[in-house]
Structure 1
Amino acid sequence: MLLLNYGVSRKIFSILLFLLLLLPILDAGDPIGSHFVRRRAKRLSSPYFDKEKTLVLAKYVVSIRSRRPHKLFGDNHFCGGVIISRTYILTSAHCAMDKRKIVHRSRVLVVVAGTTNRLKSRKGLSLNMEVKKIFVPDKFTVFNTNNIALMMLAKKLPLDNPLVGVINLPTADPEPGLNYTVLGWGRIFKGGPLASDILHIDVELLPRDICEKKVHILKEEMMCAGNLNNTMDENPVPVIPEAH
């Protein structure tokens, strides 16, 4: 999960890219990516898709996949990431390793950029990028903290692709009470199908005291966000903001 600034006015919007909540599940038989999402039972909010907002933000998001599709383009997607430079993708640590906390070999992964619909490859715009190196903090493998990882691409992303962009990292801490935007391709409800088009939701970053009451396990480096004014979405989900 990721906290990032979004353009026009910081007091109006920031980007909150959840790299867990809206991210999909592979088939149970696939060893990559199949171990961490099945525990999630509740959605954070009702997701939306609109050209003016979702597609503007989608250019910063990539699909992290196993090397080869099972049957169709995009059915090997298991995690999301954000483009923080032409060479580096920021994601969650659990997206970079298996259930034994062994980091995936870079050659078994591929990062796909420029694909807002994960099942459709757009000629000349969708990019399959090989991963050269993966970096995961020692604190995650030992203490389950610092759930963050970097994937170094083998080649630089181009500057002339309208569906690919490098996001501006935040210059200040996130503020409780502000609205944040969440993007992803995952299941929008328990047991439902994976989203084909990337979707977004808006949530409020909640104060620490409310998070401690609402979230069963809230580690020091975590925050939480939710829509407490919406009766359908009253269950906050923890967010890991450290080093984002």
Structure 2
Amino acid sequence: MIWSMRASIKLKTTMAKNVRIIGGEDADITEFPYMASFRIYKDELLICGGAIISHQHILTAAHCFENRRKSDIRVYLGTTNSRNYSIPYYKIRNVAAHPNYLKIDKKSRWTVLNDIAIVTIEPNIEFNAFQNKIDLPTKEIKVGETAIMTGWGWRTYPKGTTSNTLQKISMKVIPNCEYDRDYPHMVNDDHLCAFTEEKAGICMGDSGGPLVSHGKVIGICSFGRLCALGDPDVYAKVYSYLDFIKSCMNSVSDSNSTCCCLIL
């Protein structure tokens, strides 16, 4: 079973105190001020995470917005608590997905290609210690480098609920070729694979969240096999999409822009 890590989980009011990414640790928002959460506010549903990359742009996964209306979604910044609705929220002006975003769902092959999107929000973000941008990479990440993943995804598997406290977990970047043993023909050079110990890792609800190394966002959480059972997790490699990202940041307000195939 292979799945994308988007969640549509109602946030419970009675959750265990140690809720977390599987095997993760509680994080403070001042450690990761670039973190954003996308929520369907009417039903208190956590959908995905994302990363602030400018005063008005959030980097996330394209699959997070399939069959979703932007008017139903609010963006929350500057909080560790995914149930904190007392802080100001941001509206989505538009979503620009990669023009070649594609989900392949066949018996012989399952994968998500070019799973990356730029979300433009309003009003503009005022940067401070609790909400600030993360830099884009300027070079390829090296295999073996350590990276940090953050999110509010499931804390247990196969049955779980999203975390009400931001979680962090250390991952190691591995060669994509090692992943072919588990996912033949499912990863390419525009994917990035990361791994941690068995019984730890990302899960549903962590989609769109950033993988960060040396102060740069190097990956956007896309898909994986089961949760925390010893298999690597797959990210969209941000370095591969720098031209797309920069083009959309400069022109995403233009509905005729060629940088995007999907404007919601």
C-alpha distance in 2 between matches for 1:25 and 1:108 = 13
Q: Which residue of 1 aligns with 2:13?
A: none
Could you list the per-position Cα deviations for residues 31-74 of structure 1 after superposition, in whole angstroms to 9, with x for gaps in the alignment? xxxxxxxxxxxx985111144xxx333310111112x332xxxx
Distance 1:26 1:171 in 2: 35
- Aligned residue in 2 for 1:16: none
Q: Which of the residues 114, 122, 131 maps onto 2:78?
A: 114
Match of 2:9? 26
TM-score (norm 1): 0.69
The Cα shift of 1:219 comes to: 2.5
More strand by share: 2
For structure 2, the 5+ residue unaligned runs are 11-19, 105-111, 201-229, 243-264
Structure-2 residue corresponding to 1:93: 62
Q: Share of identical aligned residues, percent?
A: 21
The yes-or-no answer on 1:76 pairing with 2:45 is yes
Is this contact kept in 2: 1:44–1:235, CA < 8 A? no
TM-score (norm. length: structure 2): 0.65
Query: 1:164 Cα deviation (Å)?
Result: 0.4
* Contact residue 52 and residue 132 of structure 2 kept, 8 A: yes
**CA positional deviation for 1:188:** 1.6
Alignment gaps of 5+ in structure 1:
1-19, 28-42, 99-103
Partner of 1:46: 23
Q: State the Cα distance separating 1:235 from its structure 2 match.
A: 1.4
Q: Which residue of 2 aligns with 1:56?
A: 30
State the match for 1:236 in structure 2: 232
Q: Which residue of 1 aligns with 2:164?
A: 196
Q: How many residues align?
A: 190
Task: Return the alpha-carbon distance in structure 2 between the equivalents of residues 110 and 44 of structure 1.
Answer: 22
Return the match for 1:209 from 159, 163, 177. Answer: 177
Q: Does 1:128 align with 2:84?
A: no
In structure 1, distance between residues paired with 2:69 and 2:30 = 32
User: Contact conserved, 1:147 with 1:240, CA < 8 A, in 2?
Assistant: yes
For 1:176, what is the secondary structure of its paired residue? coil
1:236 Cα deviation from its structure 2 partner:
0.9
Q: Which runs of 4+ in 1 moved over 4 A?
A: 141-144
1:110 offset after TM fit, Å?
1.3
**8 Å Cα contact 1:45/1:226 also seen in 2:** no
Contact 1:182 1:201 (8 Å CA) reproduced = yes
Q: In 2, Cα distance between the equivalents of 1:231 and 1:77?
A: 26
Whether 1:155 aligns to 2:123 is: yes
Q: CA deviation at 1:120?
A: 2.2
- The root-mean-square deviation of aligned C-alpha atoms, in Å, is 2.4
How much has 1:170 moved relative to structure 2? 1.1
Question: Residues 82 and 231 (structure 1 numbering): CA distance in 2 closer, same or farther, change over 3 Å?
Answer: closer
Distance 2:172 2:25 in 1: 16
- Does the 8 Å CA contact 2:152/2:162 hold for their aligned counterparts? yes
Alignment partner, residue 225 of structure 2:
none
SS at match of 2:241: coil
Equivalent residue, structure 1, for 2:221: none
8 Å contact from structure 2 (residues 147, 171) kept in 1: yes
